[in-house]
Amino acid sequence: MDLWPLDRSGSTDGETTPNAIGGRDTARGPEGSTLTGDRIAAVPVTVRLVPMTDEEYSPFLDGLYREYAADHVRAGRWTEAEGEQKAREEIGKLLPDGRQTANHLLLTIRVDPGDEPVGAVWIAFQPPSPFEPHGAFVYDLEIRPAFRRRGYAEEAMRALEPIARDRGFDHIRLHVFGDNVGARKLYVKLGYVETNVLMAKDLRATR
Ligand SMILES: CC(C)(COP(=O)(O)OP(=O)(O)OC[C@H]1O[C@@H](n2cnc3c(N)ncnc32)[C@H](O)[C@@H]1OP(=O)(O)O)[C@@H](O)C(=O)NCCC(=O)NCCS
């Protein structure tokens, strides 16, 4: 597994933190929308997490390649030219058997009325092993731009908790970029706490 190099340090529990695939900035949704403001309507929501179909998996992967590549280009690790190919390689290593890969759940988030697909979540459950870190890790969470700020991500993340618990995991971990303000607020609201903090200074801004 290819890990974010700096994530290896500072883990509070001695476990290695996988690199997040879906640590995207809310300002860079597929339609380029900038997200601000309040929840659209404070009504109770119910979501269903259902395994992705083949038809859903293919566009999900395409989006993931693009966004994962863009993250790495933005972070200066990959060039634009190599980004998408490298993203395909890394995600391919994580999901060698596609949506059927053992210990990974690729789920569509559906809501009523109409069982509408509003987003997706990808969680991995790494069982205890002498070679790999053990834990439940959310690699990706995405709500389609038109359905944001309705509480769907919050409910989807809550729905993952019993799934993880039933599999014997007592923590869910994830990575989020520092500038992804909306996602960070979401995770804080859900009770997630920071276990590692990476810091950086942009040297181009000062001399
Ligand atoms: C981040 C994301 C998943 C949130 O989905 P969502 O369904 O709009 O979030 P919810 O409506 O469930 O929001 C729940 C809480 O999260 C916080 N939140 C979510 N989006 C926010 C935003 N744009 N600005 C401020 N707070 C936000 C709020 O605390 C909100 O609670 P509130 O409604 O009581 O204010 C969605 O914006 C998205 O798909 N972004 C692009 C992909 C991404 O960044 N994924 C996360 C990777 S780590």
Find the 110 Cα to ligand 1 centroid distance in Å. 16
More confident residue, 23 or 177: 177
pLDDT above 70 covers a percentage of the chain that reads 78
Token look-up 């060698």 returns 96
More confident residue, 207 or 82: 82
Sheet with 116-126, side-by-side order of all strands: 47-51, 104-111, 116-126, 135-143, 172-174
- Report whether pLDDT(6) > 70: no
Closest CA to 120 of 70, 183, 51: 51
Find the 150 Cα to ligand 1 centroid distance in Å. 9
What whole-number distance in Å separates Cα of residue 158 and Cα of residue 174? 14
Task: Give the CA-trace dihedral at 16, 92, 25, 182, to 10 degrees.
Answer: -60
Find the 153 Cα to ligand 1 centroid distance in Å. 6
What whole-number distance in Å separates Cα of residue 44 and Cα of residue 7? 36
- Please give the pLDDT value at position 27: 35
* Residue from 148, 160, 175, 176 whose mutation best tests the ligand 1 pocket (most atoms within 8 A of CB): 148
Contacts of residue 79, Cβ cutoff 8 Å, sequence gap at least 6: 73
> How much is the pTM?
0.84
Q: What are phi and psi of 141, to 5 degrees?
A: -145, 125
Measured CA angle at 2 (ends 155, 199), to 5 deg: 70
pLDDT in tens, 109-161: 999 989 999 999 999 998 766 666 678 999 999 999 999 999 999 999 999 99
pLDDT in tens, 73-92: 988 889 999 999 999 999 99
Which atom of ligand 1 sits closest to the CA of residue 39? 33
* Residue from 34, 36, 154, 158 whose mutation best tests the ligand 1 pocket (most atoms within 8 A of CB): 154
> Domains (ranges, CATH) in the chain?
45-189 (3.40.630.30)
